[in-house]
């Protein structure tokens, strides 16, 4: 695949002559020219699709809920059109380059690519499945109608027993049972199903219902893609050197790229944030990563470089001007006896101005996304480092103690800890949002995990806006203020 500034030829995605199908093993990389702008667009769209699948898996969605989520994301980013299939084909190989570099990246890519394949496989007509299996040397053919009728009673018994064990009622209807496709495979390929007595055996073959066949095929797809990624990882150093001026930086940054909404500018509905509000907002509306750094700053009057960057850009994103940020950091740092105003100006003021694009590269830097924060090197509280994601960096005891301090209930804390153990840190943060905003309609199952710290803050501002407006209206009524004011102030603390 050649990447050019502009393109006159299109990479060809394999398609069926009779109907379009996205089933693909991606065995051969595209050899056509791809424009640089298309290269980036295709990469981000596939990353959005795989991220949507990852979020759905992290939330524990299954059955129809998972099917609808993947289908919606597929239709939005990789529709089954000729152009959509071309994007699918090219983008898969772009993300292979970006995710081949480490075991963790390869694991993430494989999990979500295989999940996408499974969804496509079971949502294609049997004729497409059979055609694809045959084309890729997988000798699984659906049995004929005549054979299905001959084994009808036995197949029905096995099918019903398997789904009864799962608690499913979908196949209680005999007509539904008869519509289930069965595939004839060598029994040695499905020993787990044989052991669990979930398949019919005849003449050395196992008759596997379509819902179970996808797992068998997906394992072969996983092994194929894993081998391709391992090969590519060994080639990456040479590729990186050859593309050091153009693509290497983009590909290395892609794994941590934020593909959600842009939070580079304040988005608080026009509401101005003042320095005086920060203590209350740190407890009420900041995500755990930011409130943790705020309270450590208030406690020690110092944060190290990475934390100053992470928290400083967050403050910029919620609306603090460069002058307000400078006043905030100067006020905290100069509370230490060893940090005079002159020392602050000499050693720390440059970093504040840098975040606002007034020094160095003069780039208007954006607040860090959750992916960037999670991927950053782990913090070490003992060494005075408090940046990063607490859900990733805290041990269980520290996390539970922190959640208790933030008035998160035991049941919600258990859910959060469970998600953290599964490395679903953003879903854990989504549940933390729910716990801190009782009565929100933006519950964890709908939110799908926090994508950006400034998203957390923005959604919190929306949640509290009606209450803040009501308090503001009360303050405009002098007759009601005298007795009501103390209670209102206490409630807002």
Whole-number Å distance between alpha carbons of 302 and 307:
10
Q: Which helix (H) or strand (E) holds 182?
A: strand 182-186
- Looking at residue 409, what is its pLDDT? 94
pLDDT tens, residue order, the chain (493 aa)? 666 544 334 444 444 444 678 889 999 999 888 888 899 999 999 999 998 898 888 777 888 888 999 999 999 999 999 999 999 999 999 999 999 999 989 999 999 999 999 999 988 887 788 888 888 888 777 788 888 888 888 888 887 776 555 444 445 455 656 677 788 888 888 887 888 778 889 888 888 887 788 888 888 899 999 999 999 999 999 988 988 888 888 898 888 777 767 676 766 555 678 899 999 999 999 999 999 999 999 999 999 999 999 999 999 999 999 999 999 999 999 999 999 999 999 999 999 999 999 998 888 888 999 988 998 877 888 888 999 999 999 999 999 999 999 999 999 999 999 999 998 899 899 999 999 999 887 776 566 678 899 999 999 998 988 666 655 555 544 433 233 333 332 323 2
The runs of H, that is alpha helices, within 20-150 are 36-58, 63-77, 82-99, 103-122, 126-135, 145-150
Helices (H) then strands (E): counts for the chain: 25, 6
pLDDT at 177: 60
Residue 489 has a pLDDT of 28
How many other C-beta atoms are found inside a 10 Å radius of the C-beta of residue 200?
Answer: 21
What residue ranges do the domains of the chain occupy?
A: 2-123+217-254, 135-214, 275-464
The answer to whether 91 touches 43, Cβ cutoff 8 Å, is yes
C-alpha dist (Å) from residue 60 to 65, 66, 69, 419: 10, 8, 12, 10
Where do runs of H (alpha helix) occur along 263-335? 278-284, 288-300, 305-318, 322-333
354: nearest Cα among 326, 392, 334: 326
Q: Please count the residues of the chain.
A: 493
Q: Are strands 141-142 and 182-186 parallel, antiparallel or unpaired?
A: antiparallel
pLDDT for residue 168? 46
Q: What is the pLDDT of residue 114?
A: 94
CATH number of the 135-214 domain = 1.20.930.80
Which pTM value belongs to this model? 0.68
pLDDT, position 307: 95
Rounded to whole angstroms, the Cα distance separating 207 from 155 reads 8
Cα gap 169→171, rounded to integer Å: 6
Calculate the CA dihedral of residues 3, 8, 14, 16 and round it to 10 degrees.
160
User: Would you say the C-alpha torsion 240, 245, 246, 248 has a positive or negative sign?
Assistant: positive
């Amino acid at each position: 695949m050649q990447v050019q500034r502009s393109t006159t030829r299109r990479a060809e995605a394999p398609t069926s002559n009779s109907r379009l199908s996205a089933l693909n093993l991606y065995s051969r990389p595209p050899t056509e020219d791809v424009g640089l702008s298309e290269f980036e667009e295709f990469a981000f769209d596939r990353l959005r699709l795989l991220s949507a699948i990852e979020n759905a898996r992290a939330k524990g969605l299954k059955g129809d809920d998972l099917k609808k989520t993947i289908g919606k994301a597929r239709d939005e980013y990789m529709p089954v059109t000729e152009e959509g299939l071309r994007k699918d084909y090219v983008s898969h190989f772009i993300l292979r380059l970006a995710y081949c570099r480490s075991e963790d990246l390869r694991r993430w890519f494989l999990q979500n690519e295989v999940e996408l394949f499974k969804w496509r496989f079971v949502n294609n007509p049997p004729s497409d499945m059979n055609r694809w299996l045959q084309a890729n040397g997988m000798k699984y053919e659906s049995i004929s109608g005549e054979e299905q009728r001959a084994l009808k009673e036995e197949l029905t018994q096995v099918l019903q027993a398997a789904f009864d064990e799962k608690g499913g009622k979908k196949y209680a209807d005999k007509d539904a049972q008869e519509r289930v496709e069965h595939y004839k495979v060598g029994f040695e390929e499905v020993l787990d199903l044989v052991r669990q007595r979930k398949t019919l055996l005849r003449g050395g073959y196992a008759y596997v219902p379509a819902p179970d066949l996808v797992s068998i095929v997906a394992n072969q797809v996983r092994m194929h893609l894993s081998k391709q990624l391992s090969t590519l990882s060994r080639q990456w150093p040479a590729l990186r050197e050859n593309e050091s001026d153009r693509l290497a930086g983009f590909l290395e940054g892609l794994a941590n790229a934020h593909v959600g909404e842009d939070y580079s500018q304040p988005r608080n509905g026009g509401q101005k944030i003042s320095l005086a509000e920060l203590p209350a907002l740190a407890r009420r509306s900041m995500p755990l990563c930011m409130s943790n750094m705020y309270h450590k700053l208030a406690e020690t009057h110092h944060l190290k470089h990475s934390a100053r960057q992470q928290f400083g850009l967050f403050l910029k994103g919620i609306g603090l001007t460069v002058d307000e940020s400078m006043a905030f950091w100067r006020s905290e740092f100069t509370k230490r006896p060893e940090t005079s105003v002159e020392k602050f100006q000499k050693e720390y003021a440059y970093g504040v101005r840098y975040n606002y694009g007034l020094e160095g590269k003069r780039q208007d830097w954006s607040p860090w996304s959750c992916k960037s924060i999670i991927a950053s090197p782990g913090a070490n509280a003992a060494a005075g480092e408090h940046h990063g994601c607490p859900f990733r960096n805290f041990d269980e005891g520290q996390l539970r103690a922190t959640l208790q301090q933030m008035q998160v209930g035991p049941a919600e804390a258990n859910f959060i800890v469970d998600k953290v153990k599964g490395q679903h840190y953003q879903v854990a943060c989504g549940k933390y949002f729910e716990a801190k905003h009782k009565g929100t309609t933006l519950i964890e199952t709908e939110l799908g995990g926090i994508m950006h710290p400034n998203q957390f803050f923005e959604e919190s501002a929306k949640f509290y806006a009606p209450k803040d407006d009501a308090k503001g209206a009360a303050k405009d009524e002098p007759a009601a203020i005298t007795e009501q004011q103390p209670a209102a102030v206490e409630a807002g603390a």
